[in-house]
A = this chain, B = another copy of it.
Amino acid sequence: MRQIAPIGRASVGCGPLIQPLTDTARPLRQQIFERVRAAGQMARVQLAKELCISPASVTTITSELIDAGLLEAVETLREGEGGRGRPAVALRVRPNTRLVVGIKLSDREHTAVLVDFAGTMLAGEAIPRDPGPMALDAILDAAERLLDRVCTRAGVAREAVEAVGLGVPGFVDCDSGVVHWSPVLLHRHVALQAALRARLGRTVFVDNDANLVTLAELWFGAGRRLSDFAVVTIEHGVGMGFVINHRIYRGSRGMGMELGHTKVQLDGALCRCGQRGCLEAYVADYALVREAQTALNLPLGEMQSVGVMLESLFDHAKAGNAAARSIFRRAGRYLAVGLSNIVNLFDPELIILSGERMRYDYLYASETLAEMHAMMLDTGRDAPQIETHAWGDLLWAHGAAALALHELTEQLLGPSRELAAE
């Protein structure tokens, strides 16, 4: 993997020809808060420069945000003067203002974290579970148990938690809070957000898991240095998140970025979603396991867990089993198709490959990357950076917490809302 380049022009976005995108509805205080939050800390003069506004405006708005208890001033050392420089003042998010909890539901375990307003994790919990879809009530029970556990561990009351972010795999309309389909839910079109709000008595936000990883990267990872990047998650399914100009893009109705269900083969392999030829049906865990049965010559009907099957398949491939190798080889080639399609459509600065399977060689083998390059347009320029992040489930829960922080911030700082001191 190559190292990431320094922040480029697109991060500054004042150039006349590459058109940055606009949202006319977002007030400056929101933009300022987000820049500070993303950077960890930032001096006022830097804010003025990055946002192309006057230092006087920055001073006015940041004073409002400090008065409202959302930002605070901290002393920092001036750049380039080593450890002996005079202290300068930077701004950062005031951490103790609000607490939120992030919960991630998945096939193997449910996880939760409790974080402060600056996103710092105060407690984390995980509950193992049996795979398979669950009824809504069981989901609500699990979420409530996790909420109470992280609160107990952090020594705070449930009432101190201002909001809960919940992530589930599948097709989530994050605007209405309805989960149209998820491998963890027995039913379709479930109003999960409303049900969980009623159960917990807390504000709840719901999103799909790929967006959670993307939010985690935006708040705590790549987003601290880049304005534009794509995240591709490969686990039980294949997901995607996309950040443009420091914001997640969700499509006009909140249902975009379903990379796993783009078609890479007409009338191709059968996908869990019921359609044929989806990228996921060649690359995701279940697609590998499906063929592993044949490659490993297992008796029909003999079931092993997905993890055991994948480990076994990987061992056989390393030991030279041609059928096992061809499964990884094909998955790698189709992954290259998916990645090159992202490059040819979105032209991102960086693609982050995220998920536990990232440790399987085939996914970041030089062959797959070479194939991706061969399928990108020949424009004479470098390919985008590719990084692999093999995060565990806690990262996903951290992303769910970022969702809650993000939505809270929107509500606090959005249009037509007055800033009130705590």
Residues of A whose CB lies within 8 Å of any CB of B are 8, 10, 12-28, 31, 35, 50-52, 171, 173-175, 180-181, 188-189, 205, 228, 240, 244-259, 261-266, 273-275, 277, 333-334, 337, 340-341, 344-349, 374-375, 377-381, 384, 407, 410-411, 414-416
Contacts and interface: CB of A to CB of B under 8 A. Distances in A.
Nearest to A193: B17
Contacts of A253: 10, 18, 347, 349, 381
Of all A-B residue pairs in the complex, the 10 with the closest CB atoms, nearest first, are: A251-B347, A256-B347, A20-B23, A21-B21, A52-B415, A22-B23, A262-B341, A258-B344, A252-B349, A17-B175
Contact of A250 (B255, B347, B415): B347
Contact of A14 (B15, B35, B171, B415): B415
Contacts of A340: 262-263
Contacts of A175: 15, 17-18
A263 B265 CA distance: 9
B377 A22 contact: no
A211 B129 CA distance: 50
Contacts of A22: 21-23, 26, 31, 245-247
Nearest to A20: B23
Contacts of A347: 250-257
Given A174-B17, A274-B378, A379-B180, A244 B249 contact: yes
A50 B21 contact: no
Contact of A251 (B255, B348, B415): B348
Contacts of A240: 345
Contacts of A375: 263, 275, 277
Nearest to A31: B24
Nearest to A334: B266
A234 B101 CA distance: 48
Nearest to A274: B378
A233 to B, nearest CB: 15
B51 A16 contact: no
Contact of A414 (B16, B257, B261): B16
Interface centre among A20, A22, A255, A259 (most CB of B within 10 A): A22
A371 to B, nearest CB: 10
A266 B249 CA distance: 28
Nearest to A263: B337
A265 B262 contact: no
Contact of A379 (B173, B228, B263): B173
Contacts of A264: 263-266
A210 to B, nearest CB: 12
Contacts of A247: 19-22
Given A20-B25, A21-B247, A50-B24, A275 B171 contact: no
Contacts of A181: 378-379
A13 B31 contact: no
A173 B379 CA distance: 9
A219 to B, nearest CB: 14
Contact of A16 (B12, B20, B188, B407): B407
Contacts of A51: 24-25
Contacts of A35: 24
Give the interface centre of A8, A175, A340 by most chain B CB atoms within 10 Å. A175
A333 B180 CA distance: 27
A334 B268 CA distance: 13
A245 B19 CA distance: 12
B377 A19 contact: no
Contacts of A13: 23-25
29 contacts: A10-B252, A12-B25, A16-B407, A17-B174, A17-B205, A17-B410, A18-B253, A19-B247, A19-B248, A19-B249, A21-B249, A22-B22, A22-B26, A24-B35, A24-B51, A240-B345, A244-B244, A252-B349, A253-B347, A253-B381, A255-B381, A256-B346, A257-B347, A262-B341, A263-B340, A266-B337, A273-B377, A341-B341, A345-B345
